[in-house]
């Protein structure tokens, strides 16, 4: 279940990024919850291109964004981030190169889905990629949770007989 504060933050983010024409995808626990997995998210994670973090800081300047910081990652892919608080919800924009773990899939329609925060469409990374990314970043518990839900959904779609 996603708290209303998180839904409202996601909606604001989606509206502003769409208006700025910046490609993005909701990732992490809010993404899982928006797609029906029973998790309680603590924050909102958004994947963007690293070059767009400068624009993100400007677009959300009233939310006191941090400086752009390079992250240490558990893969060979580089990442940078900007953090802020929107509606009392911690928000993290993770910027990657074109071939980034998350970002390389953001602009590919087969890897993203539209779900809604209130009435606003939100680009969400699909569950298969979330499961894969959790697995290769050494988060087996989250990977197993997502895999279980994928299997449950596949079974529900299977016709008897």
Output the pTM of the full model: 0.90
Model pLDDT, residue 55: 98
Sign of CA dihedral 22, 102, 44, 132: positive
Q: What is the DSSP letter of 42?
A: S
Cα separation of 87 and 91, whole Å? 10
Residue 8 in contact with residue 87, Cβ under 8 Å? yes
Give CA separation, 18 vs 11, 59, 74, 120, in Å: 11, 11, 30, 10
Model pLDDT, residue 110: 65
Model pLDDT, residue 157: 74
Model pLDDT, residue 132: 92
Longest dimension (CA), the chain: 57
Q: pLDDT tens string for the chain (161 positions)?
A: 899 999 999 999 999 999 999 999 999 999 999 998 999 999 999 999 999 999 999 999 999 999 999 999 888 889 999 999 999 999 999 999 998 888 888 877 766 777 888 889 999 999 999 999 999 999 999 999 999 998 988 887 775 65
Model pLDDT, residue 161: 54
Model pLDDT, residue 25: 95
Model pLDDT, residue 153: 83
The full set of domain ranges for the chain reads 4-126
Write the CATH number of the domain with boundaries 4-126. Answer: 3.30.460.40
């Amino acid at each position: 279940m996603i708290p209303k504060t998180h839904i409202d933050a996601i909606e604001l983010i989606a509206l502003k990024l769409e208006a700025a024409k910046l490609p993005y995808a909701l990732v992490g626990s809010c993404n899982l919850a928006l797609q029906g997995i029973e998790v309680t998210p603590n924050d909102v994670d958004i994947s963007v291109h690293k070059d767009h973090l400068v624009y993100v800081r400007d677009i959300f300047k009233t939310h006191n964004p941090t400086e752009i910081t390079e992250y240490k990652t558990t893969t060979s892919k580089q990442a940078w981030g900007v953090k802020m608080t929107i509606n009392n919800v911690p928000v993290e924009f993770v910027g990657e190169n074109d071939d980034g773990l998350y970002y390389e899939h953001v602009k590919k329609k087969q890897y993203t889905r539209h779900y809604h925060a209130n009435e606003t469409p939100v680009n969400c990374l699909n569950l298969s990629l979330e499961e894969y990314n959790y697995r290769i970043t050494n988060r087996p518990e989250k990977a197993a949770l997502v895999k279980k839900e994928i299997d449950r959904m596949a079974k529900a779609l299977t016709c008897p007989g």
